[in-house]
Chains A and B, each alone.
Chain A
Amino acid sequence: MKPTLSKHKKKDFKPAAIIAPLVALALLYGALEIIIPLSGINRIVLPTPTAIIKVIAEAFAADIWPHFIFNVKVIFFGFLIAVPFGMLLAAICSQFNIIVKAVSPYVILLVVTPMITLIPLIQLWMGSDPDIRILVVVIQCTPIIMLNTLTGFTTVEQSKLDLARSMGASKLQTFIKIIFPNAMPQVFTGIKLGCIFSTIGSVTADFVFGMQGLGFKVQQATKYVMTEVVYGSIILIALIGFILYKIVALIERRIIVWKK
């Protein structure tokens, strides 16, 4: 019997996954457009979605764009450094059980420590150069990526290691051909968490450093009661994180075909 085309080669395009959230957005948009004016809520508290779009569109090129692109740069480069760095640290640690035991509690400690408490110290040590915020993103993302990758590297089924031994695989071959690909689902969990953490890190740094970034824009617009700009900036920050997350999820779906 000739098999049908392998499932992984088929496009698993699900229109409902795109249409359903768009319909939900349209419904929310419409509801807010009707409810806000009818209930008499002041625009200072909650502007209508159309008002937010109008103000942001008008201010975008001159006022919002430089802050937006600054955050994109900080998140992108921070993320780009944190992913291989976190994976490399996990790979080194996984080779020695004693190192895993020694560093795990401190990595967890770093993950749970609110970044906002560390940024003033980073500023004290490194100065106020705007690009220092990339370091903040790296410090925020690396531990979570490392922790997840390390879990992947250290929880390999014994039968897979037995398979490697039965073939006479060296330690390096076992790592490259078995341990690393086997850990990919956990690696991607770490990277996806890294997307979220990098956005948080970047905006938190804006709040402390000031002068640049959408986090700073939120602070500034709040001070001048430009509520539409506040909401617009928040939406843009969320969009950066969302798009980054979606790109990673797309890559994950292409690579981890066996977990669909």
Chain B
Amino acid sequence: MSIKELSKSFPVKKETLKVINSISMEIASQEFVCILGPSGCGKSTFLKILGGIIPATSGNLILEGEDLGNQIPAQALKKFGFVFQNDNLLPWRTAEKNLSLTLEVMKLKDEKSKARIPEMMEIVGLQDYMDVFPHELSGGMRQRVGIARALVHNPEILLMDQPLGALDAITRKMLSYELLSIWKKTQKTIVMVTNNVEEALILSNRIYLFSPLPAAIVKEFQVDIPFEERNPEIVGNASYRSLRDEINALVRTY
């Protein structure tokens, strides 16, 4: 996927507020890319544009060589799965029915698609919780159902908007390693928005650091930490420490 000079502005009273300022990036297949930036910098807005939720004011989105203009059209959304910050499960549907919502909306009625519901629930470790309502699940479990829902239609790209942001510190850490294992199992291209430097380093191949409003790319970091070293002992990794210190030093200048 390519993003070319993407900009977004919102009308605020009689003025125009620029939220995203000419962002361009390339995302390769099966990559795990993290968008890192301070709160309110416009990184979630950027992800919403990638997910077809809102259009960009200008710029181009290019998917598999096809220029889609400034908004992902509805028919192309099957290629994307979106994970929201606050799980965003529908409380009147069980976990299973929350997953089947995606299939219903996308009119994927074949047996193969339906079989992906228990498959995805198993990938997130909740195969025994199919008939359970969201209010009966913990915050971490709800977020895992949210991830399963985003994967159920077998998208090519998974977009995650601070998926661990609303969780407590312990669950957050646990789930970040689970995300890594989900990425390994599913081999999806993942673009994740976060404001946590450590999280971005544990998970991603590449990090784009965004500036405060209007968001622009400050720097791109290549994270060359081998997959097998991404575990709770990662703090001892020299590459991890140097990248963390470099990013933190840059963030402190904001």
- Chain A: residues with CB nearer than 8 A to chain B? 1-3, 6-8, 159-160, 162-170, 173, 177-178, 181-182, 184, 256-259
Partner of A184, one of B80, B92, B129, B132: B92
Extra contacts, 17 of them, besides A162-B84, A177-B105 (Cβ < 8 A), are A6-B94, A8-B136, A159-B86, A165-B53, A165-B54, A166-B82, A167-B77, A167-B105, A167-B106, A168-B52, A168-B78, A170-B74, A173-B104, A177-B101, A178-B90, A184-B92, A258-B91
Q: Which residues of B contact A166 (CB under 8 A)?
A: 51-53, 77, 80, 82
A168 near B132 (CB under 8 angstroms)?
no
How many contacts between A and B, using CB within 8 angstroms? Answer: 71
The smallest C-beta distance from B223 to any residue of chain A, in angstroms, reads: 27
A168 near B90 (CB under 8 angstroms)?
no
Nearest-CB residue, chain B, relative to A157: B88
B133 near A168 (CB under 8 angstroms)?
no
CA distance A181 to B102 in the complex (A): 16
Partner of B136, one of A2, A7, A164: A7
3 pairs of A and B residues whose beta carbons are closest in the complex: A168-B74, A168-B77, A258-B91
B88 near A257 (CB under 8 angstroms)?
no
Nearest-CB residue, chain A, relative to B137: A3
Q: Which residues of A contact B136 (CB under 8 A)?
A: 6-8
Q: Is B135 an interface residue (CB 8 A)?
A: yes
Give per-residue flags for B121-137: 1 if the beta carbon is below 8 A from chain A beta carbons, else 0: 00000001101111110
Q: Which residues of B contact A169 (CB under 8 A)?
A: 105
CA distance A35 to B180 in the complex (A): 76
The smallest C-beta distance from A249 to any residue of chain B, in angstroms, reads: 18
Q: Is B242 an interface residue (CB 8 A)?
A: no
Q: Is B48 an interface residue (CB 8 A)?
A: yes
Nearest-CB residue, chain A, relative to B107: A173
Q: Is B75 an interface residue (CB 8 A)?
A: yes
Q: Which residues of B contact A259 (CB under 8 A)?
A: 91
A3 near B92 (CB under 8 angstroms)?
no
A167 near B133 (CB under 8 angstroms)?
no
Q: Which residues of B contact A257 (CB under 8 A)?
A: 92, 133
Q: Which residues of B contact A2 (CB under 8 A)?
A: 128
CB-CB under 8 A for A258 and B133, given A162-B48, A177-B101:
yes
CA distance A160 to B91 in the complex (A): 11
**Interface size (B, Cβ < 8 Å)?**
31
CA distance A169 to B75 in the complex (A): 10
CB-CB under 8 A for A6 and B86, given A166-B52, A166-B77, A169-B105:
no
Q: Which residues of A contact B75 (CB under 8 A)?
A: 168
Sample of 19 A–B contacts (CB below 8 Å): A2-B128, A3-B129, A8-B133, A8-B136, A162-B88, A163-B88, A165-B52, A165-B53, A166-B51, A166-B52, A166-B53, A167-B77, A168-B75, A168-B105, A177-B104, A181-B92, A182-B92, A258-B92, A258-B134
Q: Which residues of B contact A8 (CB under 8 A)?
A: 133, 136
Q: Which residues of B contact A168 (CB under 8 A)?
A: 52, 74-75, 77-78, 105-106
CA distance A181 to B89 in the complex (A): 13
CA distance A48 to B242 in the complex (A): 88
CB-CB under 8 A for A258 and B106, given A165-B52, A168-B74, A181-B90:
no
CA distance A159 to B53 in the complex (A): 10
CA distance A135 to B162 in the complex (A): 54
Give B196-228 interface residues, CB cut-off 8 Å to A: none
Q: Which residues of A contact B128 (CB under 8 A)?
A: 1-3
Q: Which residues of A contact B52 (CB under 8 A)?
A: 165-166, 168
CA distance A6 to B104 in the complex (A): 24
The smallest C-beta distance from B84 to any residue of chain A, in angstroms, reads: 6
A3 near B84 (CB under 8 angstroms)?
no
The smallest C-beta distance from B171 to any residue of chain A, in angstroms, reads: 16
Q: Which residues of B contact A178 (CB under 8 A)?
A: 90
A167 near B129 (CB under 8 angstroms)?
no
Give per-residue flags for B59-97: 1 if the beta carbon is below 8 A from chain A beta carbons, else 0: 000000000000000110110101010101011101000
CA distance A259 to B68 in the complex (A): 42
B131 near A6 (CB under 8 angstroms)?
yes
CA distance A7 to B52 in the complex (A): 36
Q: Which residues of A contact B86 (CB under 8 A)?
A: 159
CA distance A143 to B105 in the complex (A): 33
The smallest C-beta distance from A75 to any residue of chain B, in angstroms, reads: 29
CA distance A167 to B106 in the complex (A): 7
Nearest-CB residue, chain B, relative to A174: B105
Q: Which residues of A contact B106 (CB under 8 A)?
A: 167-168
Give per-residue flags for B118-159: 1 if the beta carbon is below 8 A from chain A beta carbons, else 0: 000000000011011111100000000000000000000000
A167 near B48 (CB under 8 angstroms)?
no
Q: Which residues of A contact B88 (CB under 8 A)?
A: 159-160, 162-163
